[in-house]
Chains A and B, each alone.
Chain A
């Protein structure tokens, strides 16, 4: 047997957990909220389940002055507090025993010299090439700084091992920024090295949309403009902005959720079946959907979009303040906490079908769902008297909190007369699977370490998403009209009704 032409690992066949190459994982923004609440617990859970490679080291990079030991304590405390699995102390101490911390500014060459030395040292200790994964979980303004500095320090490329960069959202705050950031990132890394993370794509139920569509023959014949009247994608939250005023007041609802998560849901719903489930085949199909959505013209923004901001109200039985009274929010803030759009996907399959996207804070309840409303039957032989009505069938895919799929059907009410009311045929993922869904970050971090990019957003996807949202962002930021207000705990601003075409109605949140 020789190295050239060596085949796949025969021992890996049939294993649920495929081997991962030895890896040094570097987290920029290591003391931040995301790292402490999500990333460190996710990495611990991978260790707990035996999914990390034999040679694995974690390096935290942040601006605060900390010793390795102090950062180990922060990491241990975060894991104990936020891990979905109660930590096994032996595994935890094993994971953190070699944890390193590099203190320094993200633009300082010295930071990267220290980091480089640490990586070299850990690689030498392992005695074999170790892949490097740089996780950028910092504020977005540091993304290009860090990427540029990695390139300048010679840390972005290697002939001996894989180097990858995971970049958190938001990837730019406008089309111009996204293009600029893509250009900067791709001047240092190749696209195959870049993993733009949108943790929604790591959720089992989002991935299940692909299984639902492409593993079931019964829906495909209906999945087009001939049978579908409209589609509603809702991502509603009952909470306010909590402690995120600094971020949220600059971002707003459209940038926070529509440009990324909701656009991704739209592409998964609308895409054609890919030839294979390889990263590029899937992403090629998703990009085609985005290309089929027209760039909104400035004169139509008012007709296809609605924004709003929550005022005081009652949520969960308790009085809550309005957005402008939230801590850290300017009293005259014009940031939208609610956004709704009506989009058209101009291709053979979807032409003429309105896609309604709606997201907001402090709405009636927390729910993320996609509701596909079918066209009504062409002729009704039954009398409507005494019925709740024969309503168009609706297929609802719930992403959270009760992940599942329900299909509304018309059924006869028991009794001597043919009276109809809608009933639901319901499927809940929780009732049908034994396994607990892993945290999205666990799946995505492991995928990135393995170089599997299917669940990450490609450069052209990001730019296509921004091309659709950018004109709306621009129009809203330049608008002088008063921002529609809605009561906290409600269904959102009344103005959202104006988006709906005749005969359509929003589903109750």
Chain B
């Protein structure tokens, strides 16, 4: 494994020199290696080694079997190249054997091609993964679990699902090809029965795989606990990736089931089409006849008519139309509004009463004084309004007197300024005062013109 995976670029690496050629051999060399792999590596014999003459034999057979066995020179370079990744030469015994890359390479290919399905194996691997995960106690152990055990297993399950998916597709394509061969009814019936059985098997296999997959619930549970326990980006990223992987697998399992759900009944229904000889041919003729002889109605644009002797299909439109006036349940009956019942506070009520009475009293006093002032101006031709301020202050002599005096002065100024024939004079340079009263006031005069 590279120290830093993010810097590794497969295409760049494989493009250096002739690494591609060394890793992925040309067809006849590849086939020769497979011949050797089958004969020596992939069998029960404990002897996994072979001689150079075996390699020559394999290459000759796959290159051109008719060649006489004197091409040692031609193959020598090849054998030398193969020692880079595929073969190992033991200088002591002068024997060849397969390298790890070679074994993995052909093992992978044979698993891809083999009718390989083993949900029990998946279940065992899952249980093993679960046990290993349960033993993880530190962040490093968790991260190792991901990189060593989990990553190595990931392709296994996907491979199994791909296998099922391929089986379904292969079966329907095979069936279709047989159909096109215009086989006899009996033969096609037999093929249909075979697919039918095959689909039953695939469904069973998918469900076995689904059951094996159930263990992952426990794995996911532990992973989520780990994400909380070792709260680091590295763990979170791995848990996130694993969750997505499990979700993808789950959806692939569901998809296989769904695919079977609609294909399987169709197979059963296909049997029905097999009970009449030449039915397929006649159906094709019928369809071609309908397509070729349908035409657009001359009296009604865009209306297609079937050939005269073929009836159209009547379906019923709605038998009745109801006019429905919707009564929205959310609007009727109108929802009662909550009544606010005020709690009576006697003290507050009394205070409010006294305040309002005082307001009325004050207004009454203001009016009284305004009348006095008006009379005095009328009688005397002019008055010094400032003097009334102190008059009111002294006369009323209660807590409200200042407020009353101020209000009377303001109201008077406002009143006389608005009336034509009177002048209000304010002298801001002259303050008027009264013995015993702290408040001072500008000198104010109201004069009749």
A binds B: no
Residues on A close to B: CB < 8 A? none
Residues on B close to A: CB < 8 A? none
